[in-house]
Chains A and B, each alone.
Chain A
Amino acid sequence: MLRFIFSKLLYLIPTFIGITLISFSFIRLLPGDPVLLMAGERGVSAERYAQISAQLGYDKPIWQQYLTYLGNLFQGDFGNSIVTKKPVLTEFLQLFPATVELSLVAIIIATVIGVPVGVIAAIKRGSWFDQISMTGALVGFSMPIFWWGLLLIIFFSGTLGWTPVSGRISLMYYFPQVTGFMLIDSLLSGQAGAFKSAVSHLILPSIVLATIPLAVIARQTRSAMLEVMGEDYVRTAKAKGLSPARVIGVHALRNAMIPVITTIGLQIGVLMAGAILTETIFSWPGIGKWMIDSISRRDYPVVQSGLLLTAGIVMIVNLLVDLTYGLINPRIRRQ
């Protein structure tokens, strides 16, 4: 297992270098002078130009600039935002919990509904449940989630008035960030109604973000179950006279879950992309909205490092998925 982990880690190095190369090139690929871009839109004097140029290392050869960039990254220096002047990493860490909370709740919704639906659809193949749920899954898979979010706002916030339209919690409540997760912090604050407010803010965005992963998980679970149920060991289990619940629960489901877990893990990329749209619609103060705002404000250091950090997280989660896969499926490890 150690060797497996090590080989996977080794595999990451070229990808990591590639990611840093892309984020490094980003500012240099933008049309216009990078120094002027980094200095903001107001323009600079000649001395200030030279100063920024030297400070950012643009007067050095390109390979040296890259090495400095890498060195800074390893020291946790991701540059400063042009707009707020704050270190990008500080801003990222501040907003990251909001995106994690939203994504976690979304993936939990998607898994808790998606897996049972997929299993039942597979067991009752061809039934009305199978047909309706798989049609629903395909609709979900085809959903433009930015529109879906707007529809939910029209109905639940507008017509019914059940949920708020934007933000993470009502402005009535104020309490210190402990974990960064609004659900937990609101409970810890002990303020009456705070938790309820947090939940009501979270519910629509997480449903929107869960839509596509839910569809993917339900479809994947169904096809994995169908494949496994045709295997010899399931037939043997049935022939032995085991109860259907045992055949499905123990023999089929456990093996079908292997590809499903991978699918769930691989949804992280989908979630990060979905977070951009979901957070924009619901004014959710997370990484996605931060990136979009930074792109439209031309806050390029934020875009550059945000891109790098997001890709880094996706990479690490994918590594964890790979390792889990190796853990539950010994055949993979030996390859």
Chain B
Amino acid sequence: MKQNKLIFALAAASLAAGAVHAKEVVVRIGHAGPLTGPAAAFGKDGENGARLAIEDANAKGIKIGGDTVKFELVSEDDQADPRTATTVAQRLTDSGVKGVVGHVTSGASIPASRIYEQAGIPVITPSSTSPKLTQQGYKMTFRVIANDLQQGNALGKYAVDQLKARKIAVIDDRTAYGQGLADAFANAVKSSGGQIAGREFTNDKATDFMAILTKIKAMNPDAVFYGGMDAQAAPLARQMKQLGMTAKLMTGDGGCTGEMIKMAGDALSATTFCTQAGIPLDKMPGGATFRTQFKQRFGNDIHVYAPYAYDAMMSVIEAMKAANSVEPAKYQPALRSLAYQGVTGPVAFDDKGDIKGGAITVYNFDAGKWAPLQTIQ
């Protein structure tokens, strides 16, 4: 009813303007992410990115199936909470959205993905990096950012090829995240010709790593990799220093945080490395233009993932154009074979729905912050 009114109003408006349109249809696309709570900044950023994409598409007056399409954003707040995420996903599918950009956190994306799969609505996450998300074998789940496996892989290669580390010790916290990252890292080190000198384990509540570090120190490695979060990585860095270890310390995005810098203090140095999925904004093909456009539209700077949300939304729209249909069942195959040049780089999906050649950026600690060193595709 509301839709009809809107179409009527728009039709009346265009008639009044003297334009001749065949027909105009409204297509609603959802965005889901945390708009409240501690991760709210990430959710709002994604929402703005998606909104910008919709406004750009509407400005172009895209025609699908002979009709001019007006896209409309339906934004929902999942509070980065797994249970709320499923409720929100249900609400979006019930409201008849044709696609969804989201969710932002892996903890929300994984449970929500099942609901979209059952409803047959494609969902593209701009920022969830857990490998599990795309390992469920769902046809409707996509992501436009590199996952943790790709992250471990990139850092492993970087350690051997760029940092010339030969003997590397690997520690993980036995969580799904830490273990997955450490395994991917170790495999990449081995396939690049490096050697895993030792594999040690801790847990995600530990604070004392002296025993395993002493053991690692005796192996005299060039680098130590830790798969886990900053709450352990920071005391680990301090204890390495306390034991007089000079090996490089490497972590994934769990240790690539501001908290890590705060907690590890003077134990960090230029030989501390970490990775984050994605590329820094100024290295993106359309980064500079996007930054200006975003700032102009919303009055604030990009937080992190807005360009990814923009590309996720554009992927949905491009696939609809390619399939010449806004129906999920029709355009989903087009999403699978998509080749779109986005703000963040080329967007194409592999058979799991992961982005092909997703970018990973390696950082090191420099002058009190993480400084980007190299982006690996």
Q: Is the A/B pair a real complex? A: no
Chain B interface (Cβ < 8 Å from any Cβ of A):
none
Q: Which A residues are closer than 8 A to B by beta carbons?
A: none
